[in-house]
Each structure stands twice: as structure tokens, then as C-alpha cells.
Structure 1
Amino acid sequence: MEKIRCGWCGKDELYMDYHDNEWGKPVYDDEILFEFLVLESFQAGLSWITILRKRENFRKAFDNFNYKIIAEYNDAKVEELMADTGIVRNRLKVLATINNAKRFMEVQKEFGSFSKYIWGFVDNQPIINQPSTLKDVPATTDISDALAKDLKKRGFKFLGSTVVYAHMQATGMVNDHILDCHAR
């Protein structure tokens, strides 16, 4: 018998693997949280499968998502990234990633970890929603609005409420698996 999954992942093997093994599982590791910030910010305006298919290219291009290295990127590295056909070549998003790496470390310094900061928005507990269908899953919530507003105040870029909510879903801060999904 075939597993029941959330409809958004379709029959694509990469998508199904991501859905089954990553999406909605709580993440507390700062390195992984940063990786998803980068990937979600690049996803804005594109499909998630596009980003997933380029994930390994992003990993190579962005020094394994090492925010300490990314924060030090210079103009030459920006031009190298802009020439990399394996990633989404959007200068504003590349520059935002460098900026966000710096802001990420500021948050770590203030809160001890980015994880402590971001999980504080959900009282350190995943929000377990009860969607029957994909139509029941919101694009934003009051919490993603508040988090996006706070990130913006701290100088983060390309992390509006919709991107932040997608990040919350991806990192398990919110569980939006539909009720009959096997991964719920």
C-alpha cells in the first residue's frame, strides 16, 4: 500500500524524500537553521522543488552554508556566485545572504544561539496544526508576521512573513502535515 503524503510533494522522489525525512521535523541546530534561512530566502518567487534540486549546488557555492565564512564574502565572491549556473543567480538574494549571515551571528551573540531566539517565538514547542487538506494550511500566521517583523528590525533581508512561515514549517516549528499523512 502506498504511503499517504501531503499533496504538495507529488510523486517526485526528491520531494517525497524531503517531505518524509525533513519537512516538519524540529530543528534546533544553528547550522541547519541557517541553511534553511538561505534556501527559503532564495525560494521566494520560485517553487521549492527548484531550490531542492539545486540544494547541493547551493551547499558547494556557499561553503556548506557556513555563516561565519559567508559573512566574510567580498565582491569577488559575489561575482563568482553570480557566475554559478548551479544556483539561483539573484544579486539581491546573494547580498542578502551575506548580510543575513552577519545578522545571524549578532542574534547568536545576544541569545546564545539562533535556535533559542527563533524557538522563543513558539514558546519552545512545535505548533501542531490540524489541516485536513492543503487548503487548510496558511501561508502566514500572526507568529510568522511577528518573527518576520523582528528579523527585519534586526536587519535581515528577504525574510518576509511568507518566507518565515515556510522556514517554520521546514524546521518543525510548526507541523502542517495533513491529518492523514504518514509523516505526521
Structure 2
Amino acid sequence: MSLINTEIVPFKATAYHNGKFVPVSNENFKGKWSVVVFYPADFTFVCPTELGDLADHYAEFQKLGVEIYGVSTDTHFTHKAWHDTSDTIGKVKYPLIGDPSQQLARAFQVLIEEGEDAGLAYRGTFVIDPEGKIKTIEVHDNGIGRDAAELLRRVKAAQYVAAHPGEVCPAKWTEGAETLKPSFDLVGKI
């Protein structure tokens, strides 16, 4: 079953954010747009490039009213240590949630259950609307990094569609570009 348009499950966790350990729950996702970015592990190789890319675009997400949450199955203590020792991760201003119980990775269906990477998460990205419903999902094998600019485009498209019922965003849609209004008369005309 797809997680699209399902509400995120209730959870409680601890995040490292702005020099403090803070509680985070499903309630944090209500009333605003959110992006949850799962990654395999702290102190690895592709992960800091992705989190750094998100940090470089964080102000743009914030202007759209979007909070980003990075999540791995590490602890919040490990997130702090990584933040304190890596120049790239030191740029991160969004919460890094610890998921050592693997409850979030399992709920979002990105937990690796078997093999040498068992207990880690795949690279899963979820855009969540203000009602707490998942609107986009992207999951990569762990050797393939993601692009924050493309994520930003998808967030803008999700926000546009939510604000303009009856309209849809075609492939490669960017903010300000023409959208489509599906109708009987449009069938076969594209």
C-alpha cells in the first residue's frame, strides 16, 4: 500500500536542533508544510553532501513555510557529535531526529530489514502537507544522492496544487509556469 495521502503515524522522538536536544512528535508536522529526509547514517559519505545541500537551500524552504527534518537511525547524541565535528553538518540549522528504535524508518517504509545494512534507512524523502498527509515520496538506494533544488521544485508544485484545486503541474513545472486543468476537452490534446 502506498503512503501517498496517508497521515503520518503518531510518534515521539528527540532531535538535535540549534545546539539543544528537543522533543519532536507528529504534532510538529501539523499546521505547516514539512519535509522528512531519511539518510543511512551519520559520519558517512553521501549523507553529508545531501544534508549540506539541504542546508544551503534551507532559507528558500523556510520562505515557503517549510520545515525540514533529517532522520537516521542514529541517536540524537550522535547527531550532536557529527554536527560539532563536521564543517558540512555544522551548517545544518534544521532538526536532526534520532531514530534508534527504528520506529520512524519502519513507519515511513524505508527501514532496511536484512543484509549488511540492516537497521539503517534508505534515502527516503517525504513532503508532508499541513494536515500531516504525505504528498510526495522519493526513495533512493543508498549509493544515489538527492538534489535539494529538485526537492524545492516538488514542494512548490505540491503547495501550488493544494492552493489551486482542479489544476495539476505537468512535467518540469516550475513556479510561475503554466499548469493544466484536466477536463474532457483536454483528453488527447497534450
Query: Highest Rg: 1 or 2?
Result: 2
Ranked by relative contact order (alpha carbons within 8 Å, sequence separation 6 or more), the top structure is: 1
Q: Which TM-score band applies after superposition, normalised by the shorter structure?
A: under 0.3
Pick the structure with more helix per residue. 1
Q: TM-score, normalised by structure 1?
A: 0.24
TM-score w.r.t. the length of structure 2 is: 0.24
